[in-house]
Structure 1
């Protein structure tokens, strides 16, 4: 089995988020999820749902669902406690959708997209969407320090 690498470092993409705390993108913007620094993060504003959309410049040729993993480091107390991950292909057809339940902790959490898929591969994935339907924060805020897509 080949070693995994972070597609969000090796592939070009555009990212959009539902909100940024106080619209202060210089301190709390989406780019901080990908900078690798421990003390920077994306802070959403209040309200639910919150979402992250990543559109790859070039479609991903093949994703093995049994080994593909989403790694997220939240700020405890500001965790997306119900999270739906979906993938769309280059024709905007949804080809994958699954709900996950992150723990309310500060540690890196790993979500294997579909460990039971026995090597099922998705072709031409163009978009990754993460929707947070619930938050551990009363006001619905989400804070993410790191986001990776390993394949």
Structure 2
């Protein structure tokens, strides 16, 4: 079966922080709105994260991320779990510090919830800026 976008209007999302608590301008919704003009911008901190809870079980095959150059992440960790379970590490991946859309394959991740942790920001203050986040795979 071909890859399909897994994030939908029923997918619940949470983020570690929002720059100046200004969700209207820098909130999490901007990662999923398809606009090249808007973004999620985290506040300062050593580790930022995004959590997604899907309305049904999914099998993830690929992540796509677009950072703002200078506010990217050198080390990201993907964790996931089924309903009622604890998050477990699936993989580490290493994005480039560029503004281009980057794609990362994921093998055998069947889950209801996932978390992407941005462990090492390229910004001195630990801020992360994400213009686009997409999770691709199959709904089960």
TM-score (norm 1): 0.85
Match of 2:100 in 1: 107
Helix, strand or coil at the partner of 2:20: helix
Helix, strand or coil at the partner of 2:119: strand
| Cα offset, 1:130, TM superposition | 0.4
Match of 1:139 in 2: 125
| Cα offset, 1:127, TM superposition | 0.4
Q: Give ranges in structure 2 of 5+ residues lacking alignment.
A: none
Decide whether the 8 Å contact of 2:90 with 2:109 is kept in 1: no
> Matches of residues 33-112 of structure 1 in structure 2 within 5 Å?
33-60=31-58, 63=59, 68-94=61-87, 96-112=89-105
Match of 2:135 in 1: 149
> Matches of residues 9-28 of structure 1 in structure 2 within 5 Å?
9=8, 12-28=10-26
Helix, strand or coil at the partner of 1:26: helix
Decide whether the 8 Å contact of 1:89 with 1:95 is kept in 2: no
Cα 1:137–1:55 change in 2 (3 A) is same
CA distances 1:56-114 after superposition (whole Å, capped 9, x unpaired): 12333xx1x6xx00000000000021100011111314455211110000000000013
Give every structure 1 segment of 4 or more consecutive aligned residues whose post-TM-superposition deviation is greater than 6 Å: none
Please say which structure displays the higher CA radius of gyration: 1
TM-score (norm 2): 0.91
CA distance in 1, matches of 2:2, 2:112: 22
